[in-house]
Amino acid sequence: MRWDRSHESNNLEDRRGESPPVGGGGLGMLLPVAMRFGWPGVLVVVVLYFLSRGVDCGSSATRQAVTPGHVDDSQEELVKFVGFVFDDVQSTWAQEFQKRGATYPETRLVVFTSGVDTGCGIADASVGPFYCPLDRKVYIDLSFYRELHRRFGAPGDFAQAYVIGHEVGHHVQNVLGALETHGREGSVEVELQADCLAGAWGASAERQGLLEAGDVEEAMNAAAAIGDDTIQKRTTGRVRPESFTHGSAEQRQAAFRRGFRGGSLASCGL
């Protein structure tokens, strides 16, 4: 993927190395239930309050204090990259909202190490990238990308960009009320729509000349690698469609492809 290495994002909070306060956060004050979080397929806490709003918020299921991590200087270029992608995704949606005579309210990207205190409670790195609808921010520990490459076999910078596009997609859903529309039983629909929105941003990136040969394939590979069926096969050896939360590999690829071909909010049902 082509990107501007001199770009500095004003919407990125670099909180690597910080340690969240012990026991704080909104999750401890609300009744949680457990469900499967879709990126690496690990168990996370979902707040019942969010179930009525149609979105899950990642958190450490044990809610223990998180040891602060060191800042990895080798990640500096990756921090710049995710900041560039994040801003470009938001620029795309700002233009789409403007076409409708509306104003797009920007979200912020929080980069952290090991653990972070959010509007949804304390989360550790094991939950993977997530969007918190209470503070309207996207969170990511960049070590997730190492897991995406090594453990899930989905390397590439556009695979990384797809992740950002998906999480910002949740913010778009939140702003437009799609999270409330789908509700608890529509978690798969919510996630597939976010995949579609990531694809729609990909179409914008292509129009700008940002995509290189193989980029779309990287995103499609990532979508397949983190499909519920792929993760279940890897972790348990069997597939249980009734427990899907994010969709199968085929569904996630189809959603991304639909957005990429349509290139708009409307192509994703918004």
Mean residue pLDDT across the chain: 84
pLDDT, position 179: 87
The band of 262, judged by pLDDT with boundaries at 50, 70 and 90, is very high
Q: What distance in Å separates the CA atoms of residue 149 and residue 139, rounded to the nearest whole number?
A: 19
pLDDT, position 70: 55
Q: What percent of the chain is modeled with pLDDT above 70?
A: 79
**What global pTM score does this model have?**
0.84
For residues 58 and 44, the answer to whether their CB atoms sit within 8 Å is yes
Sign of the CA dihedral running 251, 252, 256, 257? negative
* Size of the chain, expressed as the number of residues it contains: 270
Query: Tens of pLDDT along 30-73?
Result: 323 222 333 333 323 333 333 333 344 333 333 333 344 556 66
Interacting residues of 2 by C-beta distance below 8 A, sequence separation 6+: 209, 210, 211, 212
Query: Tens of pLDDT along 178-213?
Result: 988 776 556 999 999 999 999 999 999 999 999 999
Please, where are the H alpha helices in 177-214? 178-182, 187-207
Q: Where are the domains of the chain?
A: 12-268
Interacting residues of 112 by C-beta distance below 8 A, sequence separation 6+: 15, 16, 18, 125, 139, 140, 141
Backbone angles phi, psi at 24, to 5 degrees: -85, 180
pLDDT at 156 over 60: yes
Query: Tens of pLDDT along 228-256?
Result: 999 999 999 999 999 999 999 999 999 99
Beta strands in 103-255 (DSSP E): 108-112, 115-118, 121-124, 130-132, 137-141
